[in-house]
Amino acid sequence: MPAKLIRNGTLIDGSGAEPIANAAVLIENGRITGVGTVQSLAPRDGVEELDAQGGYIMPGMIDTHVHVMAEGMDLIGQMQKPFSFMFYQAIQYLARTLECGVTSVRDAGGADAGVKKAVEDGIITGPRMQISISVLSTTGGHGDGYMPAGFPVPMIVPYPGNPDGIADGIDEVRKKVREILRAGADVVKVCSTGGVLSATDHPEFTQYCIEELKVMVEEARFRKGLKVMAHAQGAEGIKNAVRAGIHSIEHGMFIDDEAIELMLAAGTYVVPTLVAPLGVIEEAEATGAMPEYGLRKAKETLEIHRESIAKAYKAGVRIAMGTDAGVVPHGTNLRELGLMADVGMTPMDVIVATTKTAAECMGWDDRVGTLEAGKLADVVVTSVNPLTHIHDLANNDNIALVIKGGDIAKDRRSARVLAEA
């Protein structure tokens, strides 16, 4: 892998520090070995120069909540496809995710160890991954695909690499966590409340008691400190999760003041996924394939969700970017950034949430999240200024260059030059 020098751009390093004009980033053997000005990192023989063309040099973006094995809610269409078809679809989803500038993801249910290894070994193209395998759910909970017709339609049909996640009671929960960890999970995912897209519950329904949640945290901790992430939308389920020691709250629709106090004391992260309910509404309007209960609950929770995240942000709760991609189309991940700004986050805080804080949430802050010497060379160059045009990052044409681990995954710089000529 030849060394690379990215130059002629403004550096936004992900730490929240002031941007550096006329910046350069040196990449050698897949890692960043130098960050500074073009004067301090002069070109040398054997180094490939990559002209940022006056763009903005940033860390690779991180999405801490995706579902790479699915997209949309066309349940009838899903049932008409062969079982293995979803793996081939995932190849496209992963490629689109990387092309939009997301170089690391945390899969919140669906992807198995084989999908992760295929990316790691270079068999398929995609962001680096953490996986949760299956989603832990109570009977009748958000992860239970039971339908009013009397039979289940799960998001992923259980198979040896992806065990069924339904478990009730402390003993069942403990065994199920062990099964999921045995299958290769890097993080444990649980539903501590109901949700928008589950047929038999509601976001404010509480699922699992604190004792059951504590068992999950304990079993994960036994594996050298692995973490638990909780789909948690209702206030009681959020507080139960935080009190049990769960690491991150996904969605956080009904966060109240007591929950905020608990999260601040525990250092708990919230992953907003503001785009998810909006995506449900848009898919319903565009295709009509969305179940009535999903559309109804998305409309009901849309504004309170935004208000809750705004309140958490103002209070200083740690926010890590996540989208629930799969509910919304893969490759549209950076739309979330504009929505985070819309609830009051500054553009710089949005960038930090999408890089540094997201890496901390995943426990990967020693390898990705900021542009500094020694870290993996995950770098994005944008053609627009994200500090003044954060919404424009949702347009993938504005993501000019994507580098993952020192390898160029996307390069639209020549297309931009031709367009300007």
The tens digit of pLDDT for each residue in 55-110 reads: 999 999 999 999 999 998 777 777 789 999 999 999 999 999 999 999 999 999 99
pLDDT reading at 155 higher than 80:
no
Q: What pLDDT does residue 416 have?
A: 45
How far apart (Å, rounded) are the C-alpha atoms in residues 228 and 221?
Answer: 9
How far apart (Å, rounded) are the C-alpha atoms in residues 203 and 237?
Answer: 9
How far apart (Å, rounded) are the C-alpha atoms in residues 46 and 365?
Answer: 30
Q: Is 342 helix (H, G, I), strand (E, B) or coil?
A: helix
Contact 399, 96 (CB under 8 A): no
Does the 61-361 domain belong in CATH 3.20.20.140? Answer: yes
N-terminal to C-terminal alpha carbon distance within the chain: 32
What average pLDDT does the structure give for the chain? 95
Two tokens, residue 305? 């969700």
More confident residue, 103 or 157: 103
Residue 96: name the closest of 363, 387, 333 by CA.
333
Q: How far is CA 28 from CA 50, 104, 151, 194, in A?
A: 13, 20, 54, 47
Q: 335: burial class by Cβ within 10 Å (0-12, 13-18, 19+)?
A: buried
Instruction: Classify 359 in phi/psi space as left (phi over 0), alpha (psi -120 to 50) or beta.
Output: alpha
Would you give the DSSP letter of residue 162? B
**Where does CATH 3.20.20.140 sit in the chain?**
61-361
Catalytic residues: 189, 324
Neighbour tally for 148: CB within 10 Å:
9
How far apart (Å, rounded) are the C-alpha atoms in residues 36 and 26?
Answer: 9
Interval 19-39 mean pLDDT? 96
Q: What pLDDT does residue 419 have?
A: 40
How far apart (Å, rounded) are the C-alpha atoms in residues 122 and 315?
Answer: 42
Q: 216: burial class by Cβ within 10 Å (0-12, 13-18, 19+)?
A: buried
Two tokens, residue 294? 């999903």
Interval 151-165 mean pLDDT? 87
In the CATH hierarchy, which fold is given to the domain comprising 3-60+370-420?
Urease, subunit C; domain 1 (2.30.40)
Residue 108: name the closest of 166, 186, 169 by CA.
186
Identify the band that residue 418 occupies on the pLDDT scale cut at 50, 70 and 90. very low
Contact 165, 176 (CB under 8 A): yes
Residues near 297 by beta carbon (within 8 Å), at least 6 away in sequence = 195, 196, 197, 202, 203
Q: Mean pLDDT lowest for which of 191-195, 204-208, 310-314, 414-418?
A: 414-418
Interval 329-333 mean pLDDT? 98
Would you give the DSSP letter of residue 331? T
State pTM to two decimals.
Answer: 0.96
pLDDT reading at 417 higher than 70:
no
**Where does CATH 2.30.40.10 sit in the chain?**
3-60+370-420
Contact 405, 79 (CB under 8 A): no
Q: Tell me the one-letter amino acid at 356.
A: K
Q: Tell me the one-letter amino acid at 112.
A: D
Residues near 361 by beta carbon (within 8 Å), at least 6 away in sequence = 64, 106, 247, 248, 269, 271, 318, 320
Rg (CA), the chain: 21
Q: What pLDDT does residue 42 have?
A: 80
Contact 342, 329 (CB under 8 A): no
Per DSSP bridges, beta strands 56-59 and 379-382 are: antiparallel
At 169-193, the pLDDT tens digits run: 999 999 999 999 999 999 999 999 9
pLDDT reading at 414 higher than 90:
no
Q: What pLDDT does residue 421 have?
A: 35
Q: Phi first, then psi: what are they for 47, rounded to 5°?
A: -110, 125
Would you give the DSSP letter of residue 20? E
